[in-house]
């Protein structure tokens, strides 16, 4: 296996807040890597650095062998990196199909309109939104909008998919279905980096886990190893319920 995405000593500071400090890790091709950590640990900031919304203060980000540090989001998208947002960002007055066509047209394959239509319908089917294809994005439920985020990212036929809390706000049935969708996406050969607060879900989905705390890497390893790691448990002790969940999660 070769590394698809590598982070080398990436740091980012917002004013007085050191959001990320000297963070390094790599994602192997084909794996699902889980990213966990208490609130404010820097998880979403990390996503924004990887896909070019922010530029790191120092360090390098290498994607498929090319240095993408400081590149614009639309260039990184073209290289085959797609993401979803924790706070959903639908193109409000455009239909689900149109939303996904934007992903297909301007994503990795840079498809012409007619073929983007096919790719979009395909992605909509994977995300289970077929019946909503003609609905404007803004009229979907929260679960629907999360699926739209996923379908739109998939339509770009990405090599690497960043999922930012796609399970948050869903009910248990919806969580089950979404986990199924994520597994299917991986079976298609897409590498996944996922942020999630639902411990049970992330422990069962991920091949490996990286734990962030106060912008630094606290631990990295298989889900079972991470769950036994004393430092990780300590970091979560502020929230005993989560710590208990972490230990029983595997």
**75 versus 184: smaller Cβ distance to another protein:** 75
* Closest to 51 measured CA to CA, from 29, 30, 74, 32: 74
132: DSSP letter? G
Select 61 or 175, whichever has its Cβ closest to another protein.
61
Interface residue with another protein among 7, 27, 50, 116 (CB under 8 A) is 116
Which of 90, 144, 223, 249 binds another protein (CB under 8 A)? It is 90
For the segment 52-81, give every residue that binds another protein (CB under 8 A).
Answer: 53, 72-75, 77-78
Among 1, 2, 113, 173, which residue interacts with another protein (rule: CB under 8 A)?
113
Tokens standing for residue 95 = 């239909």
For residue 110, count other CB atoms closer than 10 A to its CB: 11
- Nearer to another protein by Cβ, of 87 and 125: the residue is 87
List strands edge to edge, sheet with 3-14: 17-28, 3-14, 58-63, 66-67
220 bridge partner residues: 210
Closer residue to another protein, CB minimum distance, 12 or 217: 12
The strand pair at 81-83 and 32-36 is best described as: unpaired
Residues of the shown chain interacting with another protein in the complex, contacts defined by CB under 8 A: 51, 53, 72-75, 77-78, 82-83, 85, 89-94, 98, 101-103, 105-107, 110, 112-113, 116, 152, 156
């Amino acid at each position: 296996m070769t590394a698809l995405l590598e982070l080398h000593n990436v740091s980012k500071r917002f004013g007085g807040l050191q959001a990320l400090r000297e963070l390094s890790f790599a994602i192997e091709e084909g794996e699902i890597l889980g990213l966990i950590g208490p609130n404010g640990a820097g998880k979403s900031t990390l996503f924004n650095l990887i896909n070019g919304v922010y530029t790191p203060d120092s360090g390098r980000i290498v994607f498929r062998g090319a240095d993408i540090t400081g590149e614009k989001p639309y260039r990184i998208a073209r290289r085959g990196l797609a993401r979803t947002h924790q706070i959903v960002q639908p193109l409000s007055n455009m239909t689900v199909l149109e939303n996904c066509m934007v992903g297909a047209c301007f994503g990795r394959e840079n498809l012409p309109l007619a073929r983007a239509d096919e790719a979009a319908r395909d992605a909509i089917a994977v995300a289970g939104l077929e019946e909503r294809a003609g609905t404007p994005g803004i009229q979907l439920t929260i679960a629907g909008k999360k699926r739209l985020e996923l379908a739109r990212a998939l339509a770009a036929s990405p090599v690497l998919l960043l999922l930012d809390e796609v399970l948050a706000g869903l009910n248990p049935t919806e969580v089950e279905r979404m986990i199924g969708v994520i597994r299917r996406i991986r079976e298609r050969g897409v590498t996944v980096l996922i942020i999630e607060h639902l411990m049970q879900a992330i422990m069962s989905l991920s091949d490996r886990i990286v734990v962030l705390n106060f912008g630094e890497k606290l631990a990295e390893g298989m889900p079972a190893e991470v769950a036994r790691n004393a430092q990780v448990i300590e970091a979560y002790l502020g929230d005993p319920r989560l710590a208990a969940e972490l230990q029983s999660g595997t």
